[in-house]
Amino acid sequence: MEMPENEYVLESTDLTIPYWLADEDTLRDEGVLFGLAESEPTEKTDIIQNYFLHLTAPHERRIEQQNERVQEMNLYIGQKENRIQELQVKLKNLENSRLEGEHQLPRTVVGLVLSVAMCVGNYYLIEETLRPSFASSSFVALGVFLAGMFNLFGRISLFHDTESRVTWRQILEEVGMPLAAALFVFAQASQTQNAWQATALFVFVFFLFLFAGKLFLSNLTVLRNDLHVWLTSQRGRRESVSHAQLWEEEMGYLEQEINDLRVQKWQVLREQGTSESERARLQARRDMLIKLFESEFYLARNMKGRLSEKQLREIRGN
């Protein structure tokens, strides 16, 4: 069976189309002719499949490119969101570090002043007690006071050291000089005061010797630590304000970039939806044309045995 050689070219594409696909009526005629002949329908349906495969190929490539762009944008968005989360954690840790660095500087200063006042008061109490016997020199009272404060030069008091094993030498070093100084004051006080007053003075001065000095040193140590915390917090606060401002600016910049990427992503998705719709339209058109051809083909094949040779020649145009 001879087929016409003329072809029809679509204006929307450079791909040439067989003449029998130009319109549905021609395709029906082709299906009837193929049905009356000895040909198989796959000869034409394969041509239709290949033709529409070429038509949908640009859309397939475009959809694949758009999928890649969407994945890249999702990756960029995810990276920027992770960076924002990191900055938020840093800001939160910065705020927590401010809370952890609280100092007790006012309380420490007050405690230091009170401990100094206790030491000064202890000195004047000793001077007043020793004045009747050593009125000519106040350096005696100062010497007794410094001797009683001998434990001031120790590294740590036995009352606060719970880890080391206490020996009698340590006890003698810690308590000996304060006890001797307090006994000396007691001996001088017993000459001018009654036994009860002298004993009370002895106990009071002895415990002042034991604890006032350590309290003074402890407050100095705490003052040093509090000053370090305060200075560090002041420096850290200045740095944190600068860092926090930079981080917040970076977060704002990242959020703006994320919004821009999402806008671009929506545009790509809209274009992808258009490409997918066009591909689906072409595939639906392909399936419809194949079914139209097959229906005419099988109808003609079924009618072939009922027609005479003359009728067949008239149908074929011979």
Rounded to whole angstroms, how far apart are CA atoms 22 and 51? 12
Residue 9 has φ and ψ, to the nearest 5°, of: -105, 125
Rounded to whole angstroms, how far apart are CA atoms 236 and 149? 39
Annotated domain spans of the chain: 7-92+257-316, 102-239
**How do strand 16-18 and strand 7-9 relate by DSSP bridges?**
antiparallel
pLDDT at 72: 93
On whether the CB atoms of residues 162 and 154 are closer than 8 A, the answer is: no
pLDDT, one tens digit per residue, over 78-121 is 999 999 999 888 888 776 665 555 667 777 788 778 878 888 88
| pTM exceeding the 0.75 threshold for the entire prediction | no
Q: Which of 14-23, 251-260, 272-281, 309-318 has the lowest mean pLDDT?
A: 309-318
Rounded to whole angstroms, how far apart are CA atoms 177 and 226? 32
Torsion angle (degrees, nearest 10) of CA 292, 293, 299, 304: 160
Task: Give the model's confidence band at 10: pLDDT under 50 very low, under 70 low, under 90 confident, else very high.
Answer: very low
Give 1's DSSP letter: -
